[in-house]
Amino acid sequence: EVLNYLADHEERAYDLNKKVKGALTYPIFIISSLVAVGAAMMIFVVPQLTSVLEESGQELPVLTKLIIALSDFLRGYWWLGILIIIGIVVGIMYALKTPAGQDYWDKIKLKLPIFGNIFKKIYLARFSENLSTLIKGGIPIIQSLTITADVVGNAVYKAIILKAREEVRRGSTINSVFASNASVPPMVAQMIMIGEQTGRLDVLLNKVAVFFKKDVDNIMENLTSLIQPVLILILGGAAGVLVAAILLPIYNLSSGL
């Protein structure tokens, strides 16, 4: 039974990670495309408009001057921009391989717009399901918490679980830690409290796991509709900045003729 559970758990975890990565790929692709198009406009389009604005002799807005300066920088030092991007990517990849970097990323993941809430539910479902199964299998609570902390997959929740383990060793409860932590929803803390008081912790944790897994599945199915408004705001804001910086001075110039 335990082996079947582990096999099913790994399969579900793989499918869920695949869905999350797929959902993250979409906004990353859109934003990368936006950056590429913006860079192309800065290098090829803005210089042509800049000559017109400079010949007019009119005082340019600060935003327009910034766009022109950025355009001049990209035209003259495009290679430096590429090196900076490569350096940032390599630096992030290296940092994520260090314990401190991974811990920091685990904290950031829980604060991401839209995705932060999804990650929280994934880790809480993983915690609840693993601890429920271990308790049901007769594993002592201290050992169950230790194993669950190792497989939860996030440094924030691992620290919470290990702190709960120490409280249990002192004769306190798991809920004494979970109820006072902002990363744990009140519903989860309440279910743990009831489970500890009634001796049915494994049953109630399983209900928590089922609830969050269904919730995550529903969110993943509708994730595109959640992301699109954010991307539209980003694209609209970027387009608005370009219009305000370049086209409005040209419009003012034509109006003054």
Q: What domains appear along the chain, each with residue ranges and CATH number? A: 25-97+225-256 (no CATH), 115-221 (1.20.81.30)
Using 50, 70 and 90 to split pLDDT, how confident is the model at 44? Answer: confident
192, pLDDT greater than 90: yes
| Rg value, the chain, Cα | 26
Mean pLDDT of 3-28: 70
- pLDDT in the model for residue 191: 96
Any idea which of 71-85, 102-116, 144-158, 228-242 has the lowest mean pLDDT? 228-242
131's CB contacts (< 8 A; 6+ apart) are: 144, 145, 148, 201, 202, 205
Mean pLDDT estimate for the chain = 85
Mean pLDDT of 13-32: 75
135: nearest Cα among 200, 226, 70, 228: 200
21: nearest Cα among 233, 232, 223: 223
In order, the DSSP letters of 190-248 are HHHHHHHHHT-HHHHHHHHHHHHHHHHHHHHHTHHHHHHHHHHHHHHHHHHHHIIIIIH
71: nearest Cα among 50, 104, 107, 43: 43
Q: What percent of the chain has pLDDT over 70?
A: 90
What is the DSSP code (8-state) at residue 110?
A: T
* 24-35 confidence digits (pLDDT tens): 777 788 888 888
What is the DSSP code (8-state) at residue 139?
A: -
* 50-75 confidence digits (pLDDT tens): 777 777 777 777 888 888 888 888 88
247, pLDDT greater than 80: no
d(CA 17, CA 19): 5
Triad 123, 127, 130: Cα angle to 5°: 130
What is the DSSP code (8-state) at residue 162?
A: H
**Bigger pLDDT: 28 vs 215:** 215
Q: How far is CA 179 from CA 129, 176, 190, in A?
A: 19, 6, 8
Q: How far is CA 253 from CA 46, 52, 151, 165, 210, in A?
A: 16, 10, 64, 71, 63
Q: What percent of the chain has pLDDT over 90?
A: 41
Task: Give the tokens for residue 108.
Answer: 């950031």
Any idea which of 152-156, 160-164, 214-218 has the lowest mean pLDDT? 214-218
1, pLDDT greater than 60: no
Task: Give the tokens for residue 234.
Answer: 């980003």
Task: Give the tokens for residue 78.
Answer: 């495009």
d(CA 151, CA 147): 7
Reported pTM: 0.74
What is the DSSP code (8-state) at residue 59?
A: P
Using 50, 70 and 90 to split pLDDT, how confident is the model at 173? Answer: very high
Positive or negative CA dihedral for 157, 161, 164, 166?
negative
- pLDDT in the model for residue 197: 94
- pLDDT in the model for residue 204: 96
Mean pLDDT of 238-251: 77
180, pLDDT greater than 60: yes
The SS3 assignment for 181 reads coil
- pLDDT in the model for residue 200: 94
Positive or negative CA dihedral for 208, 211, 214, 217?
negative
* 82-123 confidence digits (pLDDT tens): 899 899 999 999 998 899 999 999 999 999 887 899 999 999
